[in-house]
Amino acid sequence: MKKVRKAVIPAAGWGTRFLLVTKAVPKEMLPIVDRPVIHYVVEEAVQAGIEEIVIVTARHKRAIEDYFDRFFELEQRLLQAGKTEECAQVQRLSEMARLVYVRQPEALGNGHAVLCARHVIGDEPFLVLWGDDFIHAAPLRARQLLDVYEELGGSVLSLMRFGPEGIARAAMATVQPLRDNVYRVLSLIEKPSPEQIVSDLAAVSGWLLTPGIFPVLETIAPGRGGEIWLPEAVSVLAQEEPVYGCEVRNAVFYDAGNRLNYLKANIELALRRDDLRDDLLAYLRQLLATFDTGDEVC
Ligand code: UTP
């Protein structure tokens, strides 16, 4: 069985659900507290032992490359100002992972973005993580997928149970249970209509895929919006070879591609930080009290 050494992070989309800011700032670069969303995504891949990460970018996404690059002038300034810890943090960032950048010339869909990385991935299994959402789980979500892969082989999808509102917006899986949290995935349907809903298991970011996905991506007809969607290609792959689903244990899903979830992620991760928790809690309590009495200031 081949080792999973590489990951692809598609980050070349338009982010139209997050306009206006995405006109000038990639949604993958929106901050969750004090680091961009894509930082958390790269962190998971690194923690899972991934050796090389391919980030798929586009013309308007240069900020991503700058973020992970060295910045000598800044480092010098920090050192001169005696801010050695800040300087070390900035340096560590550029050493975080071995990154390869690939351009997607046109935003033809998240599946097409994965196809753009084919020549770097080659004939190996690999991980796909979206650039605009991440999961905190114990054990690490990527580790949970790798465990299933190492046991069964084949592709492994991250599954989470969604409520009715989420189901209408996600790629929902038809599955056959294998054992506790592991399933055989029979098909995926993106944004199902009410009569198409057969389960509450959504395939979220975090796809461990065999290279068998590439010929499918190359030949599949464009779907909704004229785009090539990864879930549709994975659904075809499931007819050709085993695709498994791992319902991620102890997981919290943070989605920065959507305004409300983005705000929730910021509040939640800030509340988990020792340096912010107490002051933020006090502020939120005060704010809630004001809103409850209807005295909010305009
Ligand atoms: P999304 O489908 O959520 O991104 O893809 P989007 O198209 O930017 O979103 P909206 O609907 O316009 O708001 C998930 C990931 O795939 C990337 C995105 O950048 C995001 O990180 N993506 C999407 C690409 O790399 N290329 C594409 O053509 C589309």
Give 131 Cα–ligand 1 centroid separation in angstroms. 8
| 140 SS3 class | coil
Is 159:183 a contact under the CB 8 Å cutoff? Answer: yes
Instruction: Looking at the structure, tell me whether residues 112 and 130 fall in a common domain.
Output: yes
Is 248:135 a contact under the CB 8 Å cutoff? Answer: yes
Query: Is 236 inside any structural domain?
Result: no
Q: What's the CA gap between 243 and 249, in Å, rounded?
A: 19
Ligand 1: does its nearest atom lie under 6 Å from the Cβ of 26? no
Give 274 Cα–ligand 1 centroid separation in angstroms. 33
Instruction: Looking at the structure, tell me whether residues 136 and 94 fall in a common domain.
Output: yes
Instruction: Looking at the structure, tell me whether residues 291 and 253 fall in a common domain.
Output: no
Q: Which residues of 76-99 are buried (b: 16+ CB within 10 A; e: fewer)?
A: eebeeeeeeeebeeeeebeeebeb
Ligand 1: does its nearest atom lie under 6 Å from the Cβ of 162? no
User: What is the reported pLDDT for 297?
Assistant: 57
Ligand 1: does its nearest atom lie under 6 Å from the Cβ of 36? no
Report which of 63, 62, 58, 5 is spatially closest to residue 31, judged by C-alpha positions. 63
Residue 49 is given by DSSP the state: T
Ligand 1: does its nearest atom lie under 6 Å from the Cβ of 104? yes
Ligand 1 atom closest to the Cα of residue 12 is 25
Query: Is 92 inside any structural domain?
Result: yes
Instruction: Looking at the structure, tell me whether residues 140 and 69 fall in a common domain.
Output: yes
Residue 116 is given by DSSP the state: T
Q: Which amino acid is at 147?
A: D
Ligand 1 atom closest to the Cα of residue 133 is 21
Tokens of 153: 């082989």
Query: Is 144 inside any structural domain?
Result: yes
Burial class of residue 121, CB neighbours in 10 A (0-12, 13-18, 19+): buried
Instruction: Looking at the structure, tell me whether residues 140 and 220 fall in a common domain.
Output: yes
User: Rounded to 5, what percent of the chain is helix, strand, coil?
Assistant: 45, 25, 30
Instruction: Looking at the structure, tell me whether residues 152 and 267 fall in a common domain.
Output: no
Give 11 Cα–ligand 1 centroid separation in angstroms. 7
Q: What's the CA gap between 283 and 271, in Å, rounded?
A: 11
Q: What's the CA gap between 64 and 29, in Å, rounded?
A: 7
- Output the DSSP codes for 182-250: EEEEEEEEES--GGG---SEEEEEEEEE-TTHHHHHHHSPP-GGG---HHHHHHHHHHHS-EEEEE-TT
Give 34 Cα–ligand 1 centroid separation in angstroms. 22
Query: Is 191 inside any structural domain?
Result: no
Alpha carbon 32 to its chain's center: 13
Q: Which residues of 183-194 are buried (b: 16+ CB within 10 A; e: fewer)?
A: bbbebbbbebee
- How many domains is the chain partitioned into structurally? 2
Domain ranges, residue 291 = 263-298
Q: Probe ligand 1: pick from 132, 191, 204, 227, max atoms within 8 Å of CB? A: 132
Query: Is 30 inside any structural domain?
Result: yes
Give 15 Cα–ligand 1 centroid separation in angstroms. 6
Report which of 80, 112, 75 is spatially closest to residue 94, judged by C-alpha positions. 75
Instruction: Looking at the structure, tell me whether residues 12 and 49 fall in a common domain.
Output: yes
Query: Is 284 inside any structural domain?
Result: yes
Burial class of residue 60, CB neighbours in 10 A (0-12, 13-18, 19+): middle
Instruction: Looking at the structure, tell me whether residues 140 and 14 fall in a common domain.
Output: yes
Instruction: Looking at the structure, tell me whether residues 253 and 297 fall in a common domain.
Output: no
Give 257 Cα–ligand 1 centroid separation in angstroms. 9
Which residue carries 């680091």 as its tokens? 35
Alpha carbon 284 to its chain's center: 28
Ligand 1 atom closest to the Cα of residue 17 is 13
Can you give the pLDDT of all 298 residues of the chain as single tens digits?
899 999 999 999 999 989 999 999 999 999 999 999 999 999 999 999 999 999 999 999 999 999 999 999 999 999 999 999 999 999 998 898 899 999 999 999 999 999 999 999 999 999 999 999 999 999 999 999 999 999 999 999 999 999 988 888 899 999 999 999 999 999 999 888 888 888 999 999 999 999 999 999 999 999 989 999 999 999 999 999 999 999 999 999 998 888 999 999 999 999 999 999 999 999 999 999 988 776 665 5
Instruction: Looking at the structure, tell me whether residues 267 and 253 fall in a common domain.
Output: no
Residues contacting residue 43 through CB under 8 Å, at least 6 positions apart: 96
Ligand 1 atom closest to the Cα of residue 57 is 25
Q: Probe ligand 1: pick from 39, 108, 130, max atoms within 8 Å of CB? A: 130
Give 278 Cα–ligand 1 centroid separation in angstroms. 35
Ligand 1: residue whose CA is nearest its atom 15:
130
Query: Is 230 inside any structural domain?
Result: no
Give 204 Cα–ligand 1 centroid separation in angstroms. 13
Entry pTM: 0.95
Q: What's the CA gap between 217 and 167, in Å, rounded?
A: 24
Instruction: Looking at the structure, tell me whether residues 137 and 22 fall in a common domain.
Output: yes
- What is the domain-level CATH number for residue 62? 3.90.550.10
Instruction: Looking at the structure, tell me whether residues 214 and 296 fall in a common domain.
Output: no
Ligand 1: does its nearest atom lie under 6 Å from the Cβ of 107? yes
Query: Is 243 inside any structural domain?
Result: no
